[in-house]
Amino acid sequence: MALIELKNLTYHYPLTNSPALQDLDLEVQEGEFLAIVGANGAGKSTLCYTISGFIPHFFKGELAGSVSVAGIDPTKAGLGEFVQKVGLVFQNPFNQISGSKFTVYEEIAFGLENLGIDPAEMRERVDEIIRLTRIEDLKDRSPYALSGGQQQRVALASILVMRPQILVLDEPTSQLDPIGSQEVFQVIKDMALQGMTIIMAEHKVEWVAEFADRILALSAGQAIKLGTPREVLGSPELPEHGIGISRYTQVARKALQAGLWPEKRSMPVTLDECVQGFQEIIA
Amino acid sequence: MKLINSIKRDFNTMTLVMIPVAIAINVVIGQIVALLKLPVYLDSIGTVLVAAICGPWAGALTGTLSNIIWGLLVDPNALPWFPVALFIGFVAGWCAVAGLFRTWWKVIITGILVALAAATVSTPIQVYLYGGITASGSSFITAFLLQTGRDLITAVLSTNFLVEPIDKIATCLLAFAIIKGLSTRYLARFPRPENITM
Amino acid sequence: MPDRLSFFIPRESRVHSLNPLTKLALAFSLIILAFFGPGLFLPVALYFFVLVPLSLLGKVGKEFLQTSFRLLLPLFAFLFVMQSLFYPGGETVIFSFWIFSATSEGVVFAFRTATRILVMVSSFLLLLLTTHPSTLMNDLSRRGVPASLSYIITSTLQIIPQMQARAVTIQDAQRSRGLDTGGNLINRIRSLLPLVGPLVFSSLVDVEERAIAIEARAFTLPVKKTSLIDIPDSRGEAVLRWVMAALSLMTIGYRIWLSLN
């Protein structure tokens, strides 16, 4: 059985008539990195909240179809069971600070205190995660006196320290500057390489093209494409749904029109594939 | 059991996160108003807001903590007045439960009831702790009433009844204006959205 | 208002290292003694022989005196003037001018009230100068105070400075757009809404995400929470707290006995 299984999922937020997600089917295996792309309002956040249990538990509304995440069925289990298995990090780094802790070190320990972890083990786990997320130099600072990128790494560390089975990321870099984004992407890449199951909504397609195993493209609450990065991002109908295509694909398309791209070669989605194509034509 | 359930009803995670924001609203607006030298306090807008959308117990807690935190951060003199803040939240909360927070003229009635509660509760504190005289301008009215031969409690109580309504009606109306600016979907996450909508 | 989180001054001292509950118990029992204890001069004695020495031991003597004077002087001045002139039971006239006359009963009442308030305010001040708010809340929640209460208080202490900073930003922005915050009353009332509106709505919008964030960190999970920070406490301090509790009860008992006779 897959780690995440959604069957025929349809969801309405309270007091709304049109569904935020409609007839969605999705299976994600353990260790897989799935990226979700789509325009604003396509349902990316809604899907993230569903996998992390906040739909239906926090947002209420109507959920139809079946959901199973790490063996949990939201109709039978509460939010508490979800948060022990699924970690959620979202866009705004500032709002993810608990607000009840005065240093980064204590902030990261907050989740473990709530799980009732023994203090000695707590310190070990916090130290370890601080090393992994490269925030040793921040640990005594106030979580509010940090840059957006630093705050987002603290938010990631605070979730990772709880050792979730699945990490759900809802556009974690959309409010960060380029340097902050890069630092956060680096941590996510490390986690992916360690074999963590990751679900990530993201509009920076160049990045997901390189690291995701599969991509799900959403439009108006429906799945329009699910497959490898090349299958999804190379597909010509994406722009119709307001989904940006990789700038490497854009370059290759222009090159193809000008007769500068090998005709048999498929459209590239990553920098490497793009370079290979040009090398072929030069040769 | 009924009491415990009534208290529990007011508190969900939204309430827990809302209360600190409401306290900050009380403190910061209170300071801005003092800075602008307006003839009102308006330092309980956050309390009334929580009371209306979360309930009387949450409102009472917000008022009490606002007072304690004002005491911790700004002026420890505020500490003994916490029962007044408590009752502002409590009374506003029950008014909202009774449907007195749905239209602006009903909100004015809430404001008057809140003012009566505040005036009544602050009187004994003022009399027993400060001998009826505090460092606020309205103490001159009290002093005047004393000179005209009223006894202390009557003088303090009448002063409070004169001063409180303007401030509390303005406070309740401002809280109402804020609530009208929030979406129904947002309000629905709080424990008592039915206080506001029909 | 200071732009820091609280009155706390981080120093190494015997008072700083006391358990927060001990300091809280001390504050409450001093206040009870000052209000219900015998004698006109007890509060002054408590101030000079208990509170001031403890503030010196806690290496916060200067801040202790400065802050208490700043907070209390205006109130005391007002209290003495008003009470000596208007105290209702005043008969013994010390001096009079025009239609006013100052009475010694009024002066005594003002003195009693002022010294009690002095003890009340400075007891809390001593606690706050030597105890970090998060240490106090951690210790209280370890002893059974609900975690949500402790969350609300510590979170408020962090939100207020941010909201103040936001208020200053909005104020500057509105002024640079020509909003007049001075002038007559109507003008000042009118200038209030453009200041307050953006401030309130922007902070309310954050509430939903912040609720999700603490849920994601298992805050409402019904298990017994543990604490990262270990707050030292000793047998001796526990005994001291019981002694203070007993003393407070005796004082209240004494007061009740007096009023019954």
C5 falls in which pLDDT band (50, 70, 90)?
Answer: low
Task: Please give the class, per CATH, of domain B2-120+166-195.
Answer: mainly alpha
Q: What is the DSSP letter of B51?
A: H
Specify the amino acid at residue C180: D
Please, is C6 exposed, middle or buried when counting C-beta atoms within 10 Å of its C-beta (0-12, 13-18, 19+)? middle
Average pLDDT, chain C: 87
C189 touches chain A (CB under 8 A): no
Q: Which of C23, C73, C72, C71 is closest to C50 using CA atoms?
A: C23
Chain B 18-57, residues with CB within 8 Å of chain C CB atoms: 18-21, 23-25, 27-29, 31-33, 36-39, 45
Q: What is the DSSP letter of B182?
A: S
Residue A31 sits at φ, ψ, to 5 deg, of 85, 0
Is residue A221 within 8 A of residue A42, CB to CB? The reply is yes
In the numeric block, which tokens belong to residue B190? 């709080």
Q: Which of A124, A144, A127 is closest to A135 using CA atoms?
A: A127
Beta-strand (E) ranges in C68-156?
Answer: 93-97, 100-103
Residue C65 sits at φ, ψ, to 5 deg, of -70, -45
Distance from CA of C173 to the nearest CA of A (A): 22
pLDDT digits (tens, 9 = 90+) for A100-131: 898 999 999 999 999 999 999 999 999 999 99
Q: What is the ipTM of this complex?
A: 0.92
CA count, 13 A, side-chain hemisphere, C67: 28
C78 touches chain B (CB under 8 A): yes
Which of residues B70 and A155 earns the better pLDDT score? A155
CB–CB of B38 and C201 under 8 A?
no
In the numeric block, which tokens belong to residue A265? 């070669």
Domain positions in chain C are 20-131+250-260, 140-216
Q: Is the pLDDT of residue B198 over 60?
A: no
Residue A68 sits at φ, ψ, to 5 deg, of -140, 120
pLDDT of residue C176: 81
Mean pLDDT of A44-68: 95
Distances (CA, A) of A261 to A238, A239, A253: 21, 21, 8
Q: Which of A182, C82, B21 is closest to B29 using CA atoms?
A: B21
Q: Is the pLDDT of residue A207 over 60?
A: yes
Q: C132: nearest CA in chain B?
A: B72
Distance, in Å, from the CA atom of C111 to the CA atom of C114, rounded to the nearest integer, reads: 5
User: Most distant CA pair in chain B: distance in Å?
Assistant: 56
Please, is B148 exposed, middle or buried when counting C-beta atoms within 10 Å of its C-beta (0-12, 13-18, 19+)? exposed
pLDDT of residue B76: 67
B19 neighbourhood in chain C, CB within 8 Å: 152, 156
Distance, in Å, from the CA atom of A82 to the CA atom of C169, rounded to the nearest integer, reads: 39
In the numeric block, which tokens belong to residue B88? 């502002």
Distance, in Å, from the CA atom of C252 to the CA atom of B101, rounded to the nearest integer, reads: 43
C164 neighbourhood in chain B, CB within 8 Å: 28, 31
Q: To which H or E segment does residue C203 belong? A: helix C185-216
Q: To which H or E segment does residue C206 belong? A: helix C185-216
pLDDT of residue A26: 97
Distance from CA of A183 to the nearest CA of B (A): 29
Is residue C215 within 8 A of residue A99, CB to CB? The reply is no
Q: State the chains in contact with B (3 or more Cβ–Cβ pairs under 8 Å).
A: A, C
**Following CA atoms C78, C4, C138, C232 in sequence, which dihedral angle do they give, to the nearest 10 degrees?**
-90
Distances (CA, A) of C213 to A50, A187, C90: 15, 20, 61
pLDDT of residue C181: 66
CA torsion sign for A246, A250, A255, A257 is positive
Distance, in Å, from the CA atom of B63 to the CA atom of B85, rounded to the nearest integer, reads: 4
CB–CB of A14 and B20 under 8 A?
no
Distance, in Å, from the CA atom of C247 to the CA atom of C42, rounded to the nearest integer, reads: 14
A244 falls in which pLDDT band (50, 70, 90)?
Answer: confident
For residue A13, give the nearest of B13, B20, B185 by CB distance.
B185
Which of residues B136 and C149 earns the better pLDDT score? C149
CB–CB of C78 and B69 under 8 A?
no
pLDDT of residue C194: 81
CB–CB of A162 and C154 under 8 A?
no
What 3 state SS string does C225-238 have?
CCCCCCCCCCHHHH
Q: To which H or E segment does residue A216 belong? A: strand A214-219
CB–CB of B13 and C215 under 8 A?
yes
Among residues of chain A, what percentage have pLDDT more than 70?
100
Q: Which range has the worst mean pLDDT, A76-85, B67-76, B79-88, C196-205?
A: B67-76
Mean pLDDT of C149-157: 91
Among residues of chain B, what percentage have pLDDT more than 90?
61
A266 falls in which pLDDT band (50, 70, 90)?
Answer: confident
Q: Is the pLDDT of residue C3 over 50?
A: no
- Total residues found in chain A within this entry: 283
CA torsion sign for C130, C132, C133, C138 is negative
Distance from CA of A149 to the nearest CA of B (A): 24
B162 falls in which pLDDT band (50, 70, 90)?
Answer: confident
CB–CB of B182 and C204 under 8 A?
yes
C229 touches chain A (CB under 8 A): yes
Domain positions in chain B are 2-120+166-195
Look up tokens 């786990």; give the residue.
Answer: A125
Q: State the chains in contact with C (3 or more Cβ–Cβ pairs under 8 Å).
A: A, B
Average pLDDT, chain A: 93
pLDDT of residue B137: 67
Q: A159: nearest CA in chain C?
A: C217
Q: Which range has the worst mean pLDDT, A110-124, A206-220, C174-188?
A: C174-188
State the count of interchain CB pairs (< 8 A) between B and C.
157
C172 falls in which pLDDT band (50, 70, 90)?
Answer: confident
Calculate Rg over the CA atoms of chain B.
17
pLDDT of residue C1: 36
pLDDT of residue A260: 86
Tell me whether strands A4-12 and A62-69 are parallel, antiparallel or unpaired.
Answer: antiparallel
Distance, in Å, from the CA atom of A229 to the CA atom of A108, rounded to the nearest integer, reads: 34
pLDDT of residue C191: 76
Alpha helices in A133-246 (DSSP H): 148-160, 178-193, 205-211, 229-233
Distance from CA of A145 to the nearest CA of C (A): 10
Task: Please give the class, per CATH, of domain A4-245.
Answer: alpha beta
Which of residues A155 and C85 earns the better pLDDT score? A155
Distance, in Å, from the CA atom of B90 to the CA atom of B86, rounded to the nearest integer, reads: 6
Distance, in Å, from the CA atom of B78 to the CA atom of B116, rounded to the nearest integer, reads: 20
Q: Which of C228, C229, C231 to mutate to test the interface with A (most CBs of A within 10 A)?
A: C228
CB–CB of B20 and A60 under 8 A?
no
pLDDT of residue C2: 39
Omega prior to A56 cis, within 30 of 0: yes
Domain positions in chain A are 4-245, 246-283
pLDDT digits (tens, 9 = 90+) for C85-115: 777 667 788 777 776 778 888 888 889 888 9
In the numeric block, which tokens belong to residue C8? 């706390």
In the numeric block, which tokens belong to residue C158? 């962090």
Q: State the CB neighbour count (10 A cutoff) for residue C257.
A: 9
Is residue A147 within 8 A of residue A181, CB to CB? The reply is no
Q: Which of A265-269, B145-149, C45-49, C145-149 has the highest mean pLDDT?
A: C45-49
Mean pLDDT of A73-82: 93
